[in-house]
Amino acid sequence: MVFTSPTFLYAFLPVFLVAYFAMPGMVARNAMFVAFSLLFYAWGEPVFVGILLASTVVNWLVGMRLADLPAGRRKAVMALGLVWNLGILIAAKYADFILETVSAIAGVEMPKAGWALPLGVSFFTFHAISYLVDLYRGNVGAERSLLRLTLYITMFPQLVAGPIVRYRTIARQLAHRRATLWRASTGTRIFIIGMAQKVLVANQLGLAADVAFGLGDRLDASEAWLGLACYSLQIYYDFAGYSNMAIGLGFIVGLALPRNFDLPYTAQSITEFWRRWHISLSRWFRDYLYIPLGGNRRGALRTYANLAIVFLLCGLWHGASWNFVIWGTWYGVFLIVERAWLLGPLAALPRLLRTAYALAVVMLGWVWFRADTLPEALDYFRALAGSGGNGAVDAELAALVTGYSALVFAVAAVLALTPRWLWRRLRRASLPSTAAGRVPAAAARLAANTVWAGLLGLSMAGIAGSGYNPFLYFRF
């Protein structure tokens, strides 16, 4: 079940909200939240609900044991918890990739495990690991309530595609949270923004990106660059839209989930890009891998090695294939080069050139991310360089990037590339000055509500009129 499906919008969500707010206390509301979260997960992956629940119970038991043991005797229990969580992730996601790699190295054909990938396994294992590590470090206390820990790991807004929420971020909210009319109104607006990003922008651009990446040796340079631009915008609006919908849903029920994107395509270096893209994942790797490895405290060579390790694993976290290994390595190399040589010279360049550099690196990196295989990625790079193609514009691609789609592309690009400082100025300029009597407060509210209603109506129409509705990060 996805947030932009009729089943979710017209059945699951309204029934959940009615049932949730009908509960008389926080324990009952938590129980209802867990029940609907498990139903949400079981809708697409009923066979893996047992794994999700088993993982939750094991982490609860390990957490309580960690809390009861003195500091000197915790390491073995902590190691057990890490082995359990990483074991689930490796077995579910990387078994076939490991077997294929061993087969290629040894020259011996090995049978594949053939296990299906549990939905959201990368996210719920990272949630569990962050809980145990923070508990081990003494940053949080053990969650004695199995119900509350189950809610933390399984809550449906962020269960299958994030953002990655630290236990310490919402620990108090699991036991005490306030749901007010203002929170519900604000959460609804955030949800509508996310839905519009997904339905009105990402879905439309995704159609063109899929055609371009499927053209193979018929792809010309202009088509390749157009397809790559469409995909770059698609994945941003797709993932940012899902994150905003999750944040909005959380806000409605009183949960403050972390922001996951901050205008990443306006970054002026790759270092800055990773502070703005998938922020919850970047911070997770920083706090639970980069800093424990030594961070930047043990000399330049160790810092470079730590960056390489972190982004190699970041690539693997996204997918079990050599394309993702190269994608992670791609960013690791640029981060090392920037830290060693480029940050100073970059700072001397005009803002526009710095942004163009970062955007070019990111867009080219998306080729590794989007192509299904290594040969397909290499073919796409050749097309970008002008090698190959049939010299004719593909009719299907041309139809998908004209008229309404061209307008969507232009608006999406402008919004994605508008820097934060300009957003602030535009916001200040557009705020109605009711004190000066220029715009009555009632008229301002009416105009704002008209915008929200229009986005909602257009999004609903888009959902009803299109069968193309993937969420790209569901496969991670």
Q: Tokens 């294939």 — which residue?
A: 321
Token pair listed for 204: 């439309």
Token pair listed for 30: 């938590």
d(CA 296, CA 304): 8
Identify which of 338, 377, 370 has the alpha carbon closest to the alpha carbon of residue 357: 338
Model pLDDT for residues 340-351, shown as the tens digit of each residue: 887 778 888 899
By annotation, the residues acting in catalysis are 318
Spell out the SS3 assignment of 385-397.
CCCCCCCCCCHHH
Q: What are the extents of the domains in the chain? A: 6-177, 183-465
Identify which of 90, 25, 26, 34 has the alpha carbon closest to the alpha carbon of residue 57: 34
d(CA 245, CA 418): 22
Model pLDDT for residues 47-73, shown as the tens digit of each residue: 889 889 999 999 999 999 999 888 778
Please determine, for residue 405, whether its predicted confidence score (pLDDT) is greater than 90.
no
Spell out the SS3 assignment of 156-222.
HHHHCCCCCCCHHHHHHHHHCCCCCHHHHHHHHHHHHHHHHHHHHHHHHHHHHHHHHHCCHHHCCHH
Residue 135, phi then psi, degrees to nearest 5: -65, -45
Q: Whole-prediction pTM value?
A: 0.91
Model pLDDT for residues 334-392, shown as the tens digit of each residue: 999 999 887 778 888 899 999 999 999 999 999 999 999 999 999 999 999 988 777 77
Model pLDDT for residues 171-187, shown as the tens digit of each residue: 999 999 888 888 999 99
Neighbouring C-alpha atoms within 13 Å toward the C-beta of 278: 18
